[in-house]
Amino acid sequence: MKRIGFLTSGGDCQSLNATMRGVAKTLYQAYDDVEIYGILEGYKGLIYGNYKLLSSKDFSGILTLGGTIIGTSRQPFKNMRIPDENGLDKVEAMKGNYKEWGLDCLVILGGNGTHKTANLLREEGCHVVTLPKTIDNDIWGTDITFGFQSAVNIATNAIDCIHTTAASHGRVFIVEVMGHKVGWLTLHAGIAGGADIILLPEIPYDINSVVKALDKRTQEGKSFSILAVAEGAISKEDAALSKKELKKKRQKNPYPSISYQLGEEITQRTGQEVRITVPGHTQRGGEPCPYDRVISSRLGSAAARLIIKEQYGYMVGFRDGEIVPVPLEEVAGKLKMVDPKSTIIREAKGLGICFGD
């Protein structure tokens, strides 16, 4: 009898269900006797002992289903060693439930914080295999994460839809794309959507450069412009501040997000009308695109093969078109950032896209 626990943690995204389906179907093919436990609401369920036994029927019809059938929650890694309000040791509770349920392995699907906690459990003696989930595509050790391409499609569609109204009214439109620390999603959606200006967290912008790019388009007879702005985009002025100084400044900031601040500055400097569009959580919702379904199925099947071989302590990554196991200790705590000197940035600049630098 093999007993496997499934756990999805952090923000949801497309293809969580598709990936779990890939793991489950491969395990059911390999074993005559396997039990899969769905740990409810992420690490919260592992801490407080909430789970349900899943059957093969639970994995039917979920390839195209968004969200996660076992729920999720955010349990910050920095708080994992801090007892809860009742004095419960969270790490000991997770280990205790892992042993009590007789699990052979925990399959954990999540992003950066999730992987740090997964590595902690590995260090504590639990058998763990992880899968890279995030629309931000910022997990170290894999070229792509599942959920990313689906989110690119949604963000790109938002930019596409803005083009006609921007052209009709001769306005500047800012489309704010998800991504606090990393700009992969904004970069890809911006290029795919034909944005004129792309602002990323990794490339602090100069408002003068942004205004110059807008003025250039006006001089060329172009009546509208579109900016794809990551929610974590930051000015050169703010990037030069210490964390403490930046936090203090943001507490006094009257704008709901960076896009609204940019919009007002552009209007003041150019006199152009600016409109803001924030697709928000739509970027994480809905069904996964076909590309994500393929990636998820492959990653899930590969994760099951690691379990079959009893090769624990790995994240299943995607590199150069191949599925590879990546040691979990190499992944935890690292972010895959956009390199300002990368070829994709150089090529985008060659297309005439301004990055505000």
Q: Rounded to whole angstroms, how far apart are CA atoms 68 and 118?
A: 19
Strand pairing class (314-319; 128-132): parallel
Torsion of CA 157, 159, 160, 164, to 10 degrees: 140
Structure tokens given for 260 = 């609204």
Structure tokens given for 20 = 């779990």
φ, ψ at 128 (rounded to 5°): -135, 140
Strand partners, 5: 37, 106
Contact criterion met (CB below 8 Å) for 233 and 201: yes
Closest by CA position to 44, among listed 3, 16, 76, 17: 76
- Catalytically active residues, by annotation: 136
Closest by CA position to 338, among listed 216, 246, 233: 233
226's CB contacts (< 8 A; 6+ apart) are 159, 162, 163, 166, 172, 173, 174, 175, 193, 194, 195, 196, 197
Closest by CA position to 54, among listed 62, 65, 64, 66: 62
DSSP characters over 194-217: T-SEEE-TTS-B-HHHHHHHHHHH
Closest by CA position to 21, among listed 51, 52, 72, 66: 66
Q: Rounded to whole angstroms, how far apart are CA atoms 45 and 328?
A: 22
Q: What is the SS3 assignment for 80? A: coil
Q: Rounded to whole angstroms, how far apart are CA atoms 321 and 189?
A: 21
Structure tokens given for 341 = 């000197």
